[in-house]
Structure 1
Amino acid sequence: MEFYNQLSQYYDIIFPLNKQSVDFIKEHLVDGPVLDLAAGTGNHALALARDGFQVTATDLDENMVVKIKEKAALDEVTIIALPLAMEELDQLKDKSFSTIICLGNSLVHLNSLESVKSVTTTIYDLLDQNGKLMIQIVNYDRVLNEGITELPLINREKEQISFRRIYKHEENKILFKGELTIGGETLENEISLLPITSQQLVDVLTSVGFSKINLFGSFKGEPFEINSPALIIEATKH
């Protein structure tokens, strides 16, 4: 699709690497192989690979996977980059990981709580004992409670790029409309999101077998609150 072709080309301008997120991951990860799910163009995977971690990165979009490979080659680091949907993680069942990360509001692209449970069950199986899962999504407790219909505009004036993110509330779903404007030309795309709340996600992870589940409100590491901009979860396999 043209929308995603363009998004992959300008992804790093729209979503530049947040150093705080890298620092948070490094502080909380378990030493060993790392799996980055729905990795986009691989900014976090690359940051970890530069520090010597063995990293596997997956993304549903093959354009993103190509970008990961190109950037890894330029940086002269090794990353295993695979075009896989989250629902296809069982294809990695011959591997194991000390840490698995799923950032960038990716988890809510699954279509049901049952799908979330299925994917997190596979994640649990892929983790080493005492391994960690880290998830970052939008704080949907706040989105639902306040009836939020649009996230803050991402505007890169120098590059003449903006990304508008509109939420239309539907029964048990949110219809997400993205408007990507590049030099005056606007491309649009709509996709259904699962607005999973903090308690729903904790309940799913607990039912799968995770323990020591910690909630944060941002990559600064402060505790999660109802008005936090994000929900970040750290869960341990015991």
Structure 2
Amino acid sequence: MEFYSDFSKNYDKIFPLNNKKLELIDDTFKNLKKQRENIKLLDVGCGTGSYSIALAEKGYQLKAVDIDAEMISMAESKMKEARVDIDFYRLGMLHLKDKFKSSSFDGVYIIGNVLVHLKKEEIKKFLKLAAELLDEGGKIFIQIVNYYRILELNLEGLPTIYSQDDSVRFERDYKYQEEKNTIYFISRLIDHFNDQILSENKIELYPLCKSELEENLNEAGFEIGAVYGSPNGDQYRELNSIPLIITAQKK
């Protein structure tokens, strides 16, 4: 996607690695009945690879996929600098079986609101695919936006994100299309010094809420584990939590 290729140059400024989220992911997988160096993880929608690299540094075995070639290229460059070994693939979420065999992984994680780029039925298909790729007792970690809050409060966007160096800002607006039950996600990356729009995008997202996600996970063969309302591991609150984070284990 052209937007994500353009956005990749500033991706790490807008979405730097969140140490609390990293810790939450680590806590989810490190308790599997293996030593870390034997735990195989799949990062779906890896972006520029920050979380893959950080987890590889902790000793996990990582494979990672993203649909955008520029993101993958940046991830591979960062991996070399970090001197870790990760296999990165340019691959869509619904084509994982093109590269990976059943029961290949102990854990799958999909963060950063990636999952809802799929349509309603595609989300079900992905979760069943993830279950196939997981070994017995494997876990999945999912982070999306809390769409229940957005729909119930009729919110038109999320807070603007400012880069740590204050050079760019990321504006995020939502427009709900009730007749289609989709949300238009309208985003703009803006040079904060001169207000020049560097890139902008409009894409349809599926407003997946907690109850439906849990139902889909159960149907795919998962048992719900923890539900969080922040990367800090706070309790999920329907009308207050900005993200929705769910972990589940393959039955």
Tell me if 1:119 matches 2:132.
no
Measure the CA separation in 2 of the matches of 1:194 and 1:148.
Answer: 15
Deviations 1:25-81 (A, max 9, x none): 111113410100001111110101111211001001111111110000111110100
CA contact 2:217–2:224 (8 Å) conserved in 1: no
CA contact 1:110–1:193 (8 Å) conserved in 2: yes
Tell me if 1:162 matches 2:174.
no
Deviations 1:179-228 (A, max 9, x none): 11125320211000000010000000001110133211112212211121
Deviations 1:77-112 (A, max 9, x none): 101000011111121332611110000000010022
Measure the CA separation in 2 of the matches of 1:158 and 1:209.
Answer: 44
Structure 1, unpaired ranges of 5+: none
**2:40 maps to which residue?**
33
SS at match of 1:105: coil
**1:17 maps to which residue?**
17
**1:133 maps to which residue?**
140
Measure the CA separation in 1 of the matches of 2:52 and 2:165.
Answer: 27
Tell me if 1:190 matches 2:202.
yes
CA contact 1:198–1:231 (8 Å) conserved in 2: yes
SS at match of 2:142: strand
CA contact 1:174–1:195 (8 Å) conserved in 2: yes
**1:89 maps to which residue?**
96
**1:216 maps to which residue?**
228
RMSD: 1.4
Q: Quick one: which of 67, 73, 95 aligns to 1:66?
A: 73
Instruction: Decide which moves more: 86-95 or 186-195.
Output: 86-95
Measure the CA separation in 2 of the matches of 1:212 and 1:144.
Answer: 24
Measure the CA separation in 2 of the matches of 1:174 and 1:85.
Answer: 21
TM-score normalised according to structure 2 size:
0.91
Measure the CA separation in 2 of the matches of 1:128 and 1:84.
Answer: 21
Instruction: Decide which moves more: 182-191 or 77-86.
Output: 182-191
**1:143 maps to which residue?**
150
SS at match of 1:205: helix
Structure 2, unpaired ranges of 5+: none
**1:234 maps to which residue?**
247
Tell me if 1:47 matches 2:54.
yes
Aligned residues: 237
Measure the CA separation in 2 of the matches of 1:12 and 1:157.
Answer: 10
Q: Which amino acid aligns with 2:12?
A: D
Tell me if 1:177 matches 2:177.
no
Q: Which amino acid aligns with 1:105?
A: N
CA contact 1:202–1:213 (8 Å) conserved in 2: no
